Structure 1
Amino acid sequence: MAKKPVTSRSGRFLKLAGMTASVATEYAGQKARGLFRTVDDEGAKSESYTRMASQIADTLGEMKGAVMKVGQIASQTQDFLPKEFSDALEKLQKEAPPMPFEVILEQVESELGKPVSELFEYLQETPYASASIGQVHRARMHDGTDVIVKVQYPGVDESCDSDLKQLRMALKLGGLLKMPKESVDLLFGEIRERLKEELDYENEAQNLKIFGEFHKDQPWVIIPKVIDSHSTRRVLTLELVEGDHISKVTPDRYSQETLNLIGHRIFTIMADQLFRFQCIHGDPHAGNFAYRPDGTIVMYDFGCVKKLKPEIVEAYRKALISALEEDYSSLDQHLIDLGARVGSQPAIDEAYYAMWRDILIVPFVDDEPYDFAEADIHKQVAAKTSTVFKYLDSFKPPVESIFIDRMIAGHYWMLKRLGVQAAFKTELEKYLQS
């Protein structure tokens, strides 16, 4: 049976404060043990990190809300936290345990102002999906329309600021933040801004309509329509649009040709949003996409949308061109323009840029199809992360473009899981020249 959730601000604060105290104690113990070692014991430090990370991940997963969302972002951002922490948080990417149905019913009736029986022919008790800040249930309107109802967990929006403050304190006291204060301020500021938008379902409804309009000439992209009469700031009702989760995309129903077509369409969606629309779907994980054997792609969850500044898109475009042309002095300047490189620090060794370029650019340098199923770019990146420490003072998290990086990484994993074989060189060049 699901636990009664902690929804009051004071209750959430106490829960997080307990987690913070536990993490701080573990860190202090780790420091004290270190005083008696003649050699730094990396194994013991890793075990200590793992214990702290598990404590934090367990608490965030139980509480849901803003802190769980930050945990999901942190697990994808390798330069944000130690590897042990990212590993522990990976479970937050999976399905969250559901909220009790009576809590969902109360929230729906409170928001829409009528008994559920008047609002819907039925509202299914078993969740269709559950996530960090809301839960989705299937339902049917009285006119027979099948819909899904996205219900925000009670209390998460009011507690957003205090949750983030407490989580940041826990990470700081646990010695888990690996960035200067200024960078942490910027990063948490960006996360807070995106979360505030994501907690506003009226904002998401608007995003769904905007993206629906943007992709209207691409019939192979389906974005669910909003049922305005049954939607508010904390309840969002959408037409039911179904497709296969990536785990159901199997060779008996999807040929390699279809997978490749889907791969090209995923690239087109991503590039159009970045370069043409300058507004991106900022949460591209497997649960937010579905597929059909005719090559159709269904996109869900438009709570996290990042509107990009034109100068950031232009700097990103120029950085890509410079990388492709191996013009590393220009690349250095464009990274400064992006806010990724500290301009007051000396220029970076071109060999360092060349190393990363040769790893990341592989799917875009050849006219021959690249086999994403065999892709190991993520492993090559992980193997080189230690080189970052040499230039720690020269780089900072590119706050304005962090969601672009997140979008690209999310799409890389989808292409890999789908087993796409495609050459994107010509397509990328078309977008870079425009």
Structure 2
Amino acid sequence: MSDERPVMPRGSVGRTARLASLPLGAAGRATMGLGKRLSGQSADTVNAELQQRTAEQLFAVLGQLKGGAMKLGQTLSVFEAAVPEEMAAPYREALTKLQEAAPPMPVRTVHGVLAQQLGGTWRQRFAEFDDAPAAAASIGQVHRATWRDGRDVAVKIQYPGAATALMSDLNQLARFARLFAAVFPGLDVKPLIAELKARVVEELDYGLEADAQRAFAAAYAGDAEIAVPRVVASAPKVVVSEWIEGTPLSRIIATGSREERDRAGRLLGTLHFSAPQRAGLLHADPHPGNFRILPDGRMGVIDFGAIARLPDGHPEPIGRLLNWALDGRAAEVLADLRTEGFVRPGVDVDPQAVLDYLRPLLEPIAGHHFHFTRAWMQEQAMRIGDPRTEANRLGRQLNLPPAYLLIHRVSMGSIGVLCQLDAAADWRAILEEWLPGFKK
């Protein structure tokens, strides 16, 4: 039927051309940079200019795209606190424009998907339905509506052809992942893209997403700090859930007061560590667009497409390792790291050197007050990412076991958001309450 024709793939030629412009643009800038060096400009000046222009083009292209490019852009956005402000600014601007002005699906297509997923009498389920989307995402868009019982609801509808476009974009982005190294020091984008590709099937199944949201909603029902909207109806490509109104976390990052920033950060940390214990799940997409502060002060959580299933809660060895490290017990730290697979078999590393590598990253929980800042994250990114440092050389000898990959990525992403928030709180107290194995 015409209503079911693919929406996203129709722009595949344009997307391909824009993605292809990235390596071509980098080659042109490199040639221009060589000319400037030959003309007498310093290498540092030229390199800084090339890095700035690469960042601007990279962010501008990601900001024009849906599908895999937008998904990667949103994932990377939580790390922008690690790069200088002059390079992060165009990234934030591009993503903001994308969220506000992404081209919507044709209305006929929207109605066609709803009929296919909710049945030919889908209109009878709604008292009102707004054909204009309220928000756009990487694989779908959200419409505001009123359910037949009078509840305001959010209707998340997947783009037809989303799977094809998503994989096509991610495959192309993987081919020139090294370009991202110019903007995000120390961040290897290839494993990040590989993880996104591995989770595509799960994220495209809105039925699984609805089940995860139901589990979160049940775990936090009546909670004084965290609010999860209940699912009203679901299908493989449509989720209807209660509408929640609040201040987006992105706005608090941009203009929030000190009190608002600290509270939002503390609530984000509480969600991260409490959800595995309360719901057996970890919300695995810490992008600021997925959180908002409600008028009653609670933090509303949306979008449960990316979830880590942790039925036994956070792995207990994490808490135990943190204890050893904070107590300065280098031998025990290395022994546990080997047991859990963080050190490759046959690799000989010095226990004290490993502890020295980890301790700066544990500064936020060494005491009962820590202020996350962009400067702190930039310092850690340079310490670990600069190939000239001892920390970088040691880091390359360590390993990230598959069982910890998603937990690590989400933890780093959440820290990135805390740095964007410029949030201060007693983070240690949150771990003492919720992280297994972490002692008071």
- TM (norm. structure 1) is 0.77
CA distance in 1, matches of 2:90, 2:170: 19
Aligned-pair distance for 1:169?
Answer: 1.4
CA distance in 1, matches of 2:406, 2:204: 17
CA distance in 2, matches of 1:74, 1:22: 20
Contact 2:62–2:70, Cα closer than 8 Å, also in 1: yes
Residue in structure 2 matching 1:222, options 198, 202, 227: 227
Amino acid at match of 1:137: H
2:432 aligned with 1:429, yes or no?
yes
Aligned-pair distance for 1:390?
Answer: 2.8
Cα 1:321–1:168 change in 2 (3 A) is: same
Aligned length: 419
Contact 1:221–1:299, Cα closer than 8 Å, also in 2: yes
CA distance in 2, matches of 1:90, 1:398: 32
CA distance in 1, matches of 2:382, 2:410: 22
Residue in structure 1 matching 2:170, options 164, 171, 174: 164
CA distance in 1, matches of 2:192, 2:210: 26
Aligned-pair distance for 1:347?
Answer: 0.7
Task: State the match for 1:148 in structure 2.
Answer: 154
Cα 1:91–1:309 change in 2 (3 A) is: farther
Match runs of 1:129-144 below 5 Å: 129-144=135-150
1:366 aligns to what SS in structure 2?
Answer: coil
More displaced 10-residue stretch of structure 1: 308-317 or 17-26: 308-317
Contact 1:194–1:306, Cα closer than 8 Å, also in 2: no
Task: State the match for 2:393 in structure 1.
Answer: 390
CA distance in 2, matches of 1:395, 1:264: 30
2:129 aligned with 1:123, yes or no?
yes
Task: State the match for 1:44 in structure 2.
Answer: 46
Cα 1:65–1:370 change in 2 (3 A) is: same
Task: State the match for 2:204 in structure 1.
Answer: 199
CA distance in 1, matches of 2:322, 2:14: 45
CA distance in 2, matches of 1:269, 1:311: 13
Q: CA RMSD in A?
A: 4.4
Q: Percent identity?
A: 27
Task: State the match for 2:3 in structure 1.
Answer: none
Aligned-pair distance for 1:102?
Answer: 5.3
Aligned-pair distance for 1:238?
Answer: 0.8
Residue in structure 1 matching 2:407, options 394, 401, 404: 404
1:121 aligns to what SS in structure 2?
Answer: strand
Cα 1:422–1:389 change in 2 (3 A) is: closer
2:296 aligned with 1:297, yes or no?
no
CA distance in 2, matches of 1:81, 1:249: 20
Aligned-pair distance for 1:91?
Answer: 4.1
CA distance in 2, matches of 1:262, 1:51: 33
2:110 aligned with 1:107, yes or no?
yes
Contact 1:371–1:420, Cα closer than 8 Å, also in 2: yes
- TM (norm. structure 2) is 0.76
Amino acid at match of 1:313: P
Contact 1:220–1:297, Cα closer than 8 Å, also in 2: yes
Cα 1:132–1:92 change in 2 (3 A) is: farther
Residue in structure 1 matching 2:289, options 287, 293, 307: 287
Cα 1:10–1:418 change in 2 (3 A) is: closer
CA distance in 2, matches of 1:266, 1:184: 25
Aligned-pair distance for 1:147?
Answer: 0.8
Aligned-pair distance for 1:295?
Answer: 3.9
Task: State the match for 2:65 in structure 1.
Answer: 63
Contact 1:340–1:395, Cα closer than 8 Å, also in 2: yes
1:433 aligns to what SS in structure 2?
Answer: coil
Aligned-pair distance for 1:63?
Answer: 2.3
Higher relative contact order (CA 8 A, sep 6+): 2
Contact 1:289–1:298, Cα closer than 8 Å, also in 2: yes
Task: State the match for 1:3 in structure 2.
Answer: none
Residues 5-54 of structure 1, C-alpha deviations (whole Å, 9 max, x = no match): x9454741x33442454333344445666878689934434444444444
Cα 1:303–1:227 change in 2 (3 A) is: same
1:347 aligns to what SS in structure 2?
Answer: coil
Cα 1:199–1:282 change in 2 (3 A) is: same
Cα 1:297–1:45 change in 2 (3 A) is: same
Amino acid at match of 1:70: L
Contact 1:340–1:397, Cα closer than 8 Å, also in 2: yes
Amino acid at match of 1:362: E
CA distance in 2, matches of 1:378, 1:166: 29
Residues 163-207 of structure 1, C-alpha deviations (whole Å, 9 max, x = no match): 211111133589869999xx8765433211233322221111111
CA distance in 1, matches of 2:176, 2:378: 30
Residue in structure 2 matching 1:237, options 236, 240, 245: 240
Contact 1:20–1:170, Cα closer than 8 Å, also in 2: no
Match runs of 1:336-415 below 5 Å: 336=338, 340-348=342-350, 350-351=352-353, 353-354=355-356, 356-357=358-359, 359-367=360-368, 369-371=369-371, 376-385=375-384, 386=386, 387=389, 388-391=391-394, 393-395=396-398, 400-412=403-415
More displaced 10-residue stretch of structure 1: 29-38 or 235-244: 29-38
CA distance in 2, matches of 1:273, 1:67: 28
Cα 1:109–1:410 change in 2 (3 A) is: same
Aligned-pair distance for 1:66?
Answer: 1.7
Contact 2:212–2:304, Cα closer than 8 Å, also in 1: yes
Aligned-pair distance for 1:305?
Answer: 0.7
CA distance in 2, matches of 1:289, 1:408: 16
Contact 1:49–1:84, Cα closer than 8 Å, also in 2: no
Cα 1:83–1:349 change in 2 (3 A) is: farther
